[in-house]
Amino acid sequence: MTRTGVAGANRICDARQIVGWLIATQCVLSTTAVFADETKWRLTRPVDGELMLYTADTDEATDALGDLNFQCKAGSGVVKVDKLIRDQTERAAIAELVLNDSYPTVELGQGPDKSALEAITSSDLGGWGYNFEIGSDGAAFDLFRITGIFTFKIGGVPIQAGVKAGLDRIADFQTACRKPLR
């Protein structure tokens, strides 16, 4: 125990008490972090055969989805990619396509695979976005399954989105979306 100086006259400071408070605070904070859900890839399997892969910080029903989500009909081999525009560079790339009346090519990942924008969208919930389709067995989706980050280019502008948590859900989604072998 130590006695404090003039500013804290007659107060006794016990170092053991301070250490105890610090340990208790850390335990409370650590426990809270363990119970908090993390943002990760999640998969829904509605009754109609449509699947949706999205990022969220909870398994509960929510409208707080991430900027990127994927949808497919089970066994179709085709995945619809929906992306909300959050970055100014991405917004400018979409605008350039429209202003220059350019073909809306989407270069997928590191390989030669390509797609085309199907729609530029707007909603009250998420703002501006766009969508396009890819194959569930393409190189871009295979890389995404391994990394959790989906990469592509629009108008030469590289775009990437995703999280590394929940990779098992990406694999489940890809397996369910693949066309069955004949």
Give the pLDDT mean for 7-12. 47
CA distance 157 to 136: 23
Give burial (CB, 10 Å; 0-12/13-18/19+) of 3: exposed
Give the pLDDT mean for 68-93. 95
CB atoms under 10 Å from CB of 36, counted, come to 9
**CATH 2.60.40 spans which residues of the chain?**
40-177
Write the single-letter amino acid at 78.
Answer: V
pLDDT confidence bin for 28, thresholds 50/70/90:
very low
pLDDT of res. 11: 43
CA distance 41 to 32: 21
pLDDT confidence bin for 55, thresholds 50/70/90:
very high
Q: What is the CATH number of domain 40-177?
A: 2.60.40
Give the pLDDT mean for 142-166. 94
